[in-house]
Amino acid sequence: MGVSSVREKYELAHPPEEWKYELRIRYLPKGFLNQFTEDKPTLNFFYQQVKSDYMLEIA
């Protein structure tokens, strides 16, 4: 389930003030590159996660 799917499914049930995202991509399934080309928000989220982890650990 991609980030877009989660947002579509759950955001309608609660007002925006209650939302705080704490999502992490913890594993990469087979064919993840194909999934990322179809789900750009998840690809962007994964990029930001890797970048943040790198900056905290290496830089």
All residues at 6 or more sequence positions from 56 whose CB lies less than 8 Å from its CB, including other chains: none
| Cα angle 1-10-53, degrees, rounded to a multiple of 5 | 55
Cα 32–chain centre separation:
13
**pTM (two decimals):** 0.56
The 10s digit of each residue's pLDDT in 25-58 is 888 888 888 888 888 888 888 899 999 999 999 9
The domain of 22 spans 3-57
The 10s digit of each residue's pLDDT in 11-27 is 888 787 887 767 788 88
Count of structural domains, the chain: 1
Q: CA 53, 49, 26, 11 torsion: positive or negative?
A: positive
